[in-house]
Amino acid sequence: MNKGLVVLKNLHSDLEKLIKSNESSPQLTYWLRYDEYYMAMYYESQGEEDIAESLLEKGIEQLEKQSNKSSEDYALLALFQYSYIKYTNLGRIALAKRMAKNCQQAMDLDKNNIRAYVVSGMVDLARPRIFGGGRVGEAYLLKALDEMSEQTIKSVLLPSWGKEEAYEALIRYYIKVGRKDEARDYLAELKEYYPFNLQHDTLKACL
């Protein structure tokens, strides 16, 4: 078993044990969901899409039924939906609408949440232009990379993801629209700042 996957599974087990002893901790529950998301991305990168789909579906279900969601919860839920939507045909339009609504909720609750901007940017760039996509996505992702911090309060307990995902989405967009020089520049930065990124080789192969 891959070392990275072992780490993710061990973390998942540890978080489940902690949650059982402290069921009222939303931060622990958040990190459990995020760990499941990252496991899904790992399995997807290995071609095990059935496992990835199952993990994403589970995460969406758990996050949707969670009460009193924060900006972070809405952003994470939208991220799960963004990654899951390619696995479903039935209900795709309804899912896209819920995803867009969750992005807006995340931004409305916290204008300084980088993850709200990143996921909103990803969703916008993935939406077909005929349905209004591509209007603000690039600007949101560039703002996240150039102007925003992954944490406004430094803490190992708080979410700290965002920039890596922004790089990935921006590179995909630049490849899609033929701006390959910009894609190569950001791919080089992605490799420098996130040397173990799961999407790097796939993105590089598209250039």
Q: Which tokens sit at 189?
A: 């930065």
Report the mean per-residue pLDDT for the chain: 92
Instruction: Return the pLDDT at 186.
Output: 98
4: pLDDT strictly greater than 90: no
Instruction: Return the pLDDT at 1.
Output: 61
Instruction: Return the pLDDT at 64.
Output: 96
Give the integer Cα–Cα distance in Å for 127 and 106: 18
90-109 pLDDT, tens digit per residue, is: 788 899 899 999 999 999 99
Mean pLDDT of 146-150: 96
- CA-closest candidate to residue 135, choices 143, 145, 126: 126
Instruction: Return the pLDDT at 187.
Output: 98
CATH architecture observed for domain 3-161: Alpha Horseshoe (1.25)
Give the integer Cα–Cα distance in Å for 148 and 162: 10
Structure pTM? 0.90
